[in-house]
Structure 1
């Protein structure tokens, strides 16, 4: 397996696509332990980027450096056009950060939490109340606005946390494992919120251990392991890195099935089900070549299905098994 795999350029992510943030050679150590060992990142504006990795891989450290909470030992990074080392105030003015541990104050109401954030952003009383009302409505918290945040469910607290982050209208949001501990319904609600943020032009930098989450949300994914980026690309590009992909052809005519089996000697066949399985990475080029061979043989399949390894397989292969997951995409420690 190559140590780093460059993704294929895609439409909307070419040289002209502006970067919301970028990093080159970021390094960070604590004593003798190297947490980040020279990582490179580039996140296009208006996209969701997922940094995927097992516990201890360096995900939170990356977010802390990019959000100016800690300094790197080496390398360079720019966020919203500002250098994190020389212009930290510029970075802070452009970003919002939500960690896996909520910043919500449970002793005051949801509305009071929001108004406190408005004060911290130096909004006028009138503007602060307007923004608070709009965000509470957007995040389906208006009915609970006057209740102490301590009475909120986990999903409500997480929504309030993100709403508080948006008070300052950041263009880049760091979400450090935002759905950890949430039930499936709350997690899906959070996914919808993240999609809506990106629709409005916000860039989301997401760290997660939920593989399904990265697969559902991310335009680009980087897999971090032992302080290094071991692969990056779209979910589909990453899935094609792992052996086991294939195309399955199903026939209803036994004669067509036999003709296809003759034309495709590398296949695995099931005579009873009239299906053929051909090794393939699922790429457009491979599919076109397969269809050309079938056309040349004068054979047409009744059904063609592309099977690629899922993101669980990718994660397991790239991290050496340290981040094995269950069927729900939850990292198993």
Structure 2
């Protein structure tokens, strides 16, 4: 009876490097399951599209909320340029993946990482830190750069022939694109970007909201930050105003029962959500919020009637639009 082929969990981003890593292993008789993690900062959209196109099985799993927020508050290996804790984020992914590997009977983990491709998180030193922090260093195989890295358990144990792995390094993607052409991998997204934690202004908003809510900050608050204009009013009251029809609909989807819903009723204008974490919203903040919603309505400097809806009641406030300087005073 023939031995069963080895099984690997491949951390998959939906990009070309991950596609190639999977194809290398598949050509070496390894059964691959893609694994994509989600948080409010990155989704599985690209991975789902690629899995359908190239016929790989895909597991989608959320990263543990508390563990990830702890990393955002105090990453042991520090942040990148903004609020991106890349090394500790990758380590957490591999730690959770390693636990899944053990629980579900996989033989090893793999990633599409390329040595030297990213200056913060894919240097030799960074990869060693990631591996050590994950707790699964000897079971993490990087097929695209494996020949430039120490041999791992799946190589030493004969699950994968090291000679069939690659030695790609650096930021140029020429070798990857040539391989893609050779293996008829024709559809893949452009490299780079994707995580809002690498963006300056999103990071500033996130930091301010985390400082305001402290231990009460959650993935839900992070998801809200991806939509609309944000204002932090007195008494830790958070106002989010939609910027277009799509965002207005998204805010309604994200609304919790305890949140107030605001919109103008005598002119066209945005939808807004208003809430305070640990107390009812005070009248002063209702009036400020109504003025802010009015500012982004088709007001023509006339009075705007704002309807504020709660689970128990409705309130109409007629107001003039806020002055731009007032908006900036509270803008996150």
Is the TM value for this pair above 0.5? Answer: no
Report the TM-score, using the length of structure 1 for normalisation. 0.28
Q: Which has the higher helix share?
A: 2
Which structure's relative contact order is higher, taking Cα pairs within 8 Å and 6+ residues apart?
A: 1
Report the TM-score, using the length of structure 2 for normalisation. 0.28
